[in-house]
Amino acid sequence: MLVLPKGVRHIPGHLDRGEQELLVQDLRAVVGQAPLYRPEMPRTGKPLSVRMTNCGELGWVADKAGYRYQDRHPVTGTPWPPIPDRLMTIWTDLSGDTRPPQACLVNFYDAKARMGLHQDKDESDFSAPVLSISLGDACLFRIGGVERGSPTRSFRLESGDIVLLGGESRLAFHGVDRIYPTTSTLLKDGGRINLTLRRVNT
């Protein structure tokens, strides 16, 4: 039995197929207003393997200037669309925080996409958890400690799973080592969507 670090909560299959399909409909509307784009690594300008967008009053962006939150899409210059009500309800039910999320990062992984070990640390307030929702193809998720060299452990995330990073593990290093193609029929053309709900400021 896998023992997760204190503050990490994995809720397998929290969303049933119908709920997942409704969320995908919501996300289509979000992407219609705020198209997916490919962010770049700071300094090098190397494109990330994931495509992303955001919804909420703030959105996380990455480019040569660095990592940060801003209130507008970096390509279109338009404000981010609001976070769908369904996502707000999930946050209210599971986060344990009475304040609403300010940002929802939408990452799309194709079969070859990865996400290296990193911390979610561009927020000014770490008191609320990070709430992550998996949709589509399964992935191998890796979680470590708050130091880069800490031991890591890996487990599989399926469509409808939820992971919360809070408390002692709010700043834990985590990443996605691989996608398991064709493990879900939720997305017509395959791939994985990860939604990350966050508080940014106090």
Closest CA to 106 of 135, 126, 79, 127: 135
DSSP state, residue 159 = T
pLDDT digits (tens, 9 = 90+) for 67-87: 999 999 999 999 999 999 999
**Can you give the pLDDT at residue 38?**
95
**Can you give the pLDDT at residue 76?**
97
Distance of alpha carbon 7 from alpha carbon 167, whole angstroms: 5
Q: Taking the CA atoms of the chain, what radius of gyration do you get in angstroms?
A: 16
Closest CA to 15 of 158, 140, 139, 155: 158
Looking at the predicted structure, is the pLDDT value of residue 189 above 80?
yes
> In the Cβ-directed half-sphere of 100, how many Cα atoms lie within 13 Å?
14
Looking at the predicted structure, is the pLDDT value of residue 121 above 80?
yes
Place of tokens 């307030």: 125
Q: Mean pLDDT, to the nearest integer, of 156-169?
A: 98
Q: Mean pLDDT, to the nearest integer, of 166-184?
A: 97
Beta strand 162-165 pairing with 66-70? unpaired
Distance of alpha carbon 200 from alpha carbon 181, whole angstroms: 33
Distance of alpha carbon 90 from alpha carbon 107, whole angstroms: 18
Structure confidence at residue 174 as a pLDDT band (50, 70, 90): very high
**Can you give the pLDDT at residue 63?**
93
> What pTM was estimated for this model as a whole?
0.96
What mean pLDDT value characterizes the chain? Answer: 96
Distance of alpha carbon 127 from alpha carbon 150, whole angstroms: 22
**Can you give the pLDDT at residue 107?**
98
Distance of alpha carbon 48 from alpha carbon 35, whole angstroms: 16
Distance of alpha carbon 140 from alpha carbon 96, whole angstroms: 26
All structural domains of the chain, each given as residue ranges with its CATH number in brackets, are 8-198 (2.60.120.590)
Amino acid at 39: P
Q: Mean pLDDT, to the nearest integer, of 38-44?
A: 90
Looking at the predicted structure, is the pLDDT value of residue 1 above 90?
no
Q: Mean pLDDT, to the nearest integer, of 111-115?
A: 96
Q: Mean pLDDT, to the nearest integer, of 29-40?
A: 97
